[in-house]
Amino acid sequence: MKTVVKILLFFLFPLFLFTSCQQADQGKKDKMRVGVIRFSHETCTFCPRETGIKEWEYYGPPMQGKDVLSAGPYMRGFVDFCRETGGFILTGIYSPREAQGGSSGSWITREAFDKYTHGMQKDLQEQGPFDALYLSLHGAMAVKGILKPEAEIVRRLRTVVGDIPIFITLDLHANEDHELSDVADAVFIVKRYPHYDSYLQGERAAWVLYRTLKGTYKPVMATRKPGVITPSVFQWTGEAPAMEIMERARRWECRRKDVFVSVAFGFAYADVPDAGATLLPIMILRWPIPSPMI
């Protein structure tokens, strides 16, 4: 009897290992691969010192892997949601750290911008393919010789990843226009200043991306520029008018399921062509789109 058991184990154990490995591989194949990137700067173009590679790498060389996955509250919200669902494989792509001086830094040099975006492209090429990208940006970046830096980041990354969903979170001091919404699939902006809902917006981005990749929803986005510029001191959301504007955006979101209304007040201390407020509503439409919606 013992001999029979030993013979059975001899043949069945390898079969068990083979089946387990196949199931593990299939589990990985079923998960959605998302590359995550952080490249954030609020540029005060009226300050005297430019922001070059030296300033970007003052706190260390660019990040990759797990360091990117914990870089800031937007990113942590996104990553935590993805891990809770268990349906994602997240890859931290080459990303610069915080620049020395933060908003006190002036124009970002073209050399620095090219270095980091080209590094992202190379890393995406080596680590890919991906089902989607998530970008944690700021929205008020100013680069010498590049009029719309955030839109340019997305354009450059698309040359590598192609036509996959690219989701973005921004600060409410963002200076953006239709060029960003033309190349990205969804943009989520904080509604609080101070920005204590950054984590929430990261979660929102992950939640909507999850449904988009599952094929049950399709994001449709529009952009409007009201032609208003306000200094940051009047953008505190604890009193009017900023408080009322953001409350109206929340009411719009509550009135209809799967509508997200992002408002950027802009960053007045940047001499850029898209300076000022931006309205970025996103409607998450069921797919296929019902005929009354067309």
Q: What are the pLDDT tens digits along the chain (294 aa)?
A: 566 545 544 554 454 444 444 444 444 568 999 999 999 999 999 999 999 999 999 999 999 999 999 999 999 999 999 999 999 999 999 999 999 999 999 999 999 999 999 999 999 999 999 999 999 999 999 999 999 999 999 999 999 999 999 999 999 999 999 999 999 999 999 999 999 999 999 999 999 999 999 998 899 999 999 999 999 999 999 999 999 999 999 999 999 889 999 999 999 999 999 999 999 998 865 444 444 433
User: Do residues 268 and 205 lie in contact, with contact meaning Cβ atoms separated by under 8 Å?
Assistant: no
**Considering Cα of 282, then 138, then 204, then 96, what sign does the dihedral take?**
positive
Q: In the chain, what are the domain boundaries?
A: 32-293
Using CB atoms within 10 Å of the CB of residue 98, give its burial: 0 to 12 exposed, 13 to 18 middle, 19+ buried. Answer: middle
Classify domain 32-293 by CATH number. 3.40.50
Tell me which residue of 189, 217, 184 sits closest to 201, measured CA to CA.
Answer: 189
Using CB atoms within 10 Å of the CB of residue 93, give its burial: 0 to 12 exposed, 13 to 18 middle, 19+ buried. Answer: buried
> What's 264's DSSP letter?
E
Tell me the C-alpha distance between 277 and 268, whole Å. Answer: 9
Tell me which residue of 276, 274, 280 sits closest to 266, measured CA to CA.
Answer: 276
